[in-house]
Amino acid sequence: MIESKRIPGLNPVAKLLLLISFSVLVLLMGDVVYILLVVAAILALKHVLRARSVLSKTVFGFSIAIFLTQILFNHSGDELARLGPLVVNVGGITAGILIAAKFLSLISMSWIFIATTRAADLSAALTSSGFPYRYAFLPALSMRFVPVFQLEYSVVRDSQAVRGLRLERSLRGIIRSVRYTMTPMLFLAMSKVNNLASSMTGRGFGAHPTRTLLRPMRPSAKDAAVAAVGVLVACAVLILERALPLEGSLLP
């Protein structure tokens, strides 16, 4: 499950714009030092807001795996060290840091957004901002199903363990676990989707062009200012990275 402190007073649309702005920033960055500083800032914010998830260890492990894979197979740039058949190059280290850092940043920012935003508030804020309610319901629905599928995944794994499936932490154990948990999760997902579709059809969802809201959440001037400042900060960091590269101070 994902849990966190809430961010009071900030409209979900403003938080969504901040998420998009800094996601684009992370994807466009190419300097190792700057991307590490951004990762440190995101992880610090994640810690302050206590945006925890049961998948945290998995994501950190996958980031390390991405970094090691680049070191093993990317031999661009100058050679730094050689240990038998293993050759470590500058390009491999740089690419490993960049790709792993971008992956970790995007996942962590998504965690922060999901953990500090209620699905109902996001749907209401998008609809109040003029977004068609049929489409505004989709991201809220996705957020609602994240903890549901996490719980279902834990149930499936426990059931397979009771039946004698060895859940080792080796590569072979991970492949076996995915093989025997994918099919039950697929059937569970299809079942929930069918039930949801039947429920929405029975309630007449989409039958009318507009929909009234119990609690409209229109963005305020404060929300617009916060979103604008976030976009400006992202642009400033990107411009500073291009004008004053620092990668040479870290790697030869």
One-letter amino acid of 212: T
Instruction: Judge residue 30's burial from the number of C-beta atoms within 10 Å of its C-beta, 0-12 exposed, 13-18 middle, 19 or more buried.
Output: middle
Residue 7 covered by a domain: no
Under a CB-based contact definition with an 8 Å cutoff, are residues 133 and 211 in contact? yes
Give the model confidence (pLDDT) of 58-71 as tens digits. Answer: 788 888 888 888 88
Give the model confidence (pLDDT) of 168-186 as tens digits. Answer: 666 666 666 677 777 777 7
Give the model confidence (pLDDT) of 141-162 as tens digits. Answer: 777 777 777 777 777 777 777 7
Domain range for 140 is 12-225+242-249
Mean pLDDT of the chain: 80
* 27 membership: H or E segment, kind and range: helix 12-28
The answer to whether residue 247 scores a pLDDT higher than 70 is no
- Tell me what pLDDT residue 1 has: 45
Residue 237 covered by a domain: no
Residue 119 covered by a domain: yes
Residue 234 covered by a domain: no
The answer to whether residue 196 scores a pLDDT higher than 90 is no
Under a CB-based contact definition with an 8 Å cutoff, are residues 237 and 42 in contact? no
**Is the pTM higher than 0.85?**
no
Residue 232 covered by a domain: no
Q: Span 18-42, mean pLDDT?
A: 92
- Tell me what pLDDT residue 173 has: 63
- Tell me what pLDDT residue 7 has: 52
Residue 235 covered by a domain: no
pLDDT band at 52 (very low <50, low <70, confident <90, very high): low
Nearest alpha carbon to residue 148 among 185, 200, 104? 185
Name the H helices within 29-170: 32-48, 56-73, 90-115, 119-128, 133-162
Residue 88, classed as helix, strand or coil, is strand
Hey, what's the torsion of the CAs at 13, 15, 20, 24, to 10 degrees? 150
Q: Span 20-42, mean pLDDT?
A: 92
Residue 2 covered by a domain: no
The answer to whether residue 53 scores a pLDDT higher than 80 is no
Total count of domains within the chain: 1
Residue 218 covered by a domain: yes
